[in-house]
């Protein structure tokens, strides 16, 4: 019996496990056990954590993994030992013949006074739920300026999506006051990663939604009633949402290879960790070449195909079958701008190809359909969706 262990059940982990099961099925292979180890018994649609309704963001693993016979164990992984082919988790030790590391990334909360105690995030489902409950709790208390004000720190993609969603969320919770949302960033511009083409669209959306900005400034302290900026300004708020800075899961350090500045593991075109035998990596923990000039970006856009290919290759590798290399010839970004629509850019230079309602239709198709596994329990449909093929660019149709 060969043991394939997949760590994580996010966009990379789920699809790696399904990709492996599909390859086993395709080869008619026997004597394989595929096990997913994850801290949650869910496949979380993490990209939707900024939305007001979290109901569609959590899929029980039983719905997707049980129909194809993949075991899953809810446990926190605490160590990976490549020398002994052993993973340690809260459920005990697990040995593997091949391992896929897909433990994702985490928002980094720096050591700013009060941030860990009073700050919120939308990094995980639990974080987003905590924010949701906090806002609902504020709405039940006496309306104050602090209660109806939210400060979002980090004007990158996650921060912009969160800031654009909050005015309508606050308006429905505080109908008798004028809600205020402020977006803070150290950079002199919003959406620095989105480039010059998208910036005017983002700025216009923030303006339409009444989102204020404080740019070129940092946060020096957070408490229950406000946030202090590096300029000395104090913004009265009960809600600080931290969206600045992502790092790969720190367990990547256990593999003992040099990692990039985001803590990611270098992988080859087959998703094998360079310099470590029998370990593959996919998603936010891995840095893979997407074309001759560009490395993967922490995104579900890259994480899902990396997972499918890693799953295919891990089984092929065990059976001495040819591996498939992953190269993705296109790159897009579709950023939600809340009630102001969305902005859709193409290419690594991110030039805008659609905005407003047209881009929003594509974003809704991505968030509501494209990135979901089949949820009908149909084994064949689930395996087919895990094929190592590339999707075409997203559109409003799919
Ligand atoms: C609010 C928000 C909006 C986003 N919007 C977009 C977007 O529009 N487009 C886009 O492409 N990307 C977006 N992203 C980024 C995207 O969500 C990530 O790139 C993607 O989730 C990475 O997939 P992953 O499988 O590598 O990691 P994850 O999806 O984070 O999955 C990691 C898995 O590992 C598990 N895990 C972690 N630590 C342990 C442990 N110690 N033990 C056991 N299990 C563990 C977790 O439970 C989880 O199952 C967004 C992210 C956020 C937070």
What confidence tens digit (pLDDT) does each residue in 6-54 have?
999 999 999 999 999 999 999 999 899 999 999 999 999 999 999 999 9
- Residues whose beta carbon lies within 6 Å of some atom of ligand 1: 8-13, 37-40, 46-47, 49-50, 76-77, 102-104, 122-123, 157-158, 161, 249, 283-284, 298-301, 303
Backbone angles phi, psi at 173, to 5 degrees: -85, -30
Q: Any alpha helices (H) in 174-261, and if so which ranges?
A: 195-209
CB within 8 Å of 335: residues ≥ 6 apart: 157, 160, 161, 191, 194, 198, 202, 342, 343, 344, 345, 363
* Confidence band, pLDDT 50/70/90 cuts, at residue 295: very high
pLDDT in tens, 111-153: 999 999 999 999 999 999 999 999 999 999 878 999 999 999 9
Under 8 Å between Cβ of 80 and 254: yes
CA distances from residue 15 to 199, 233, 357 in whole angstroms, order as listed: 33, 46, 31
- Residue whose C-alpha is closest to residue 168's, from 334, 340, 364: 340
* pLDDT reported for residue 398: 85
What does the alpha-carbon distance between residue 288 and residue 283 come to, in Å, rounded to a whole number? 9
Hey, what are 85's tokens? Answer: 């082919």
| CA-proximal residue: ligand 1, atom 7 (nearest) | 47
Give percent helix, percent strand, percent coil of the chain, each to the nearest 5.
35, 25, 40
Please tell me the distance between residue 59's alpha carbon and the centre of ligand 1 in angstroms.
Answer: 14
pLDDT in tens, 167-202: 999 999 998 888 999 999 999 999 988 889 999 999
Q: How far is CA 268 from the centre of its chain?
A: 22
| CA-proximal residue: ligand 1, atom 15 (nearest) | 299
What is the SS3 assignment for 223? strand
Under 8 Å between Cβ of 251 and 80: yes
- Residue whose C-alpha is closest to residue 136's, from 56, 211, 54, 213: 54
What does the alpha-carbon distance between residue 191 and residue 123 come to, in Å, rounded to a whole number? 18
Query: Quick check: pTM over 0.85?
Result: yes
What does the alpha-carbon distance between residue 382 and residue 387 come to, in Å, rounded to a whole number? 9
Please tell me the distance between residue 171's alpha carbon and the centre of ligand 1 in angstroms.
Answer: 29
* Confidence band, pLDDT 50/70/90 cuts, at residue 206: very high
């Amino acid at each position: 019996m060969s043991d394939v262990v997949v760590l994580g059940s996010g966009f990379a982990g789920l699809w790696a496990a399904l990709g492996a099961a599909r390859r086993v099925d395709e080869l008619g292979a026997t004597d394989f056990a595929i096990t997913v180890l994850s801290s949650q018994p869910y496949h979380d649609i993490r990209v939707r954590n900024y939305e007001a309704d979290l109901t569609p963001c959590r899929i029980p693993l039983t719905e997707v993994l049980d129909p194809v016979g993949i075991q899953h164990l809810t446990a926190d992984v605490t160590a990976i030992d490549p020398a002994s082919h052993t993973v340690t988790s809260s459920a005990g030790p697990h040995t593997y013949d091949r391992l896929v590391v897909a433990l994702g990334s985490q928002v980094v909360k720096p050591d700013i006074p009060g941030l860990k105690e009073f700050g919120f995030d939308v990094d995980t489902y639990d974080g987003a739920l905590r924010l949701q409950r906090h806002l609902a709790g504020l709405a039940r208390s006496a309306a104050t300026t602090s209660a109806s004000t939210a400060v979002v720190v980090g004007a990158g993609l996650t921060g912009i999506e969160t800031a654009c969603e909050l005015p309508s969320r606050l308006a429905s919770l505080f109908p008798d006051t004028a809600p205020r949302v402020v977006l803070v960033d150290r950079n002199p511009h919003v959406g620095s990663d989105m480039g010059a083409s998208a910036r005017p669209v983002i700025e216009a959306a923030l303006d339409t939604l009444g989102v204020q900005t404080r740019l070129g400034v940092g946060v020096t302290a957070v408490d229950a009633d406000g946030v202090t900026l590096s300029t000395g300004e104090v913004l009265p708020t009960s809600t600080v949402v931290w969206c600045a800075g992502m790092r790969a899961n720190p367990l990547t350090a256990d593999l003992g290879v040099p990692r990039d500045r985001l803590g990611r593991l270098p992988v080859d075109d087959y998703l094998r960790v360079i310099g470590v035998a029998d370990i593959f990596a996919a998603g936010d923990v891995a840095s893979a070449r997407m074309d001759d000039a560009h490395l993967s970006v922490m995104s579900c856009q890259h994480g899902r195909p990396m997972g499918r290919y890693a799953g295919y290759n891990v089984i092929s590798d065990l059976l001495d079958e040819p591996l498939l290399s992953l190269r993705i010839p296109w790159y897009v970004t579709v950023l939600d701008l809340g009630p102001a629509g969305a902005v859709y850019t193409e290419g690594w230079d991110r030039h805008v190809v659609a905005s407003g309602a047209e881009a929003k239709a594509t974003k809704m198709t991505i968030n509501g359909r494209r990135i979901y596994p089949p949820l009908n329990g149909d084994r064949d449909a689930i395996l087919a969706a895990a094929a190592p093929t590339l999707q075409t660019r997203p559109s409003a149709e799919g």
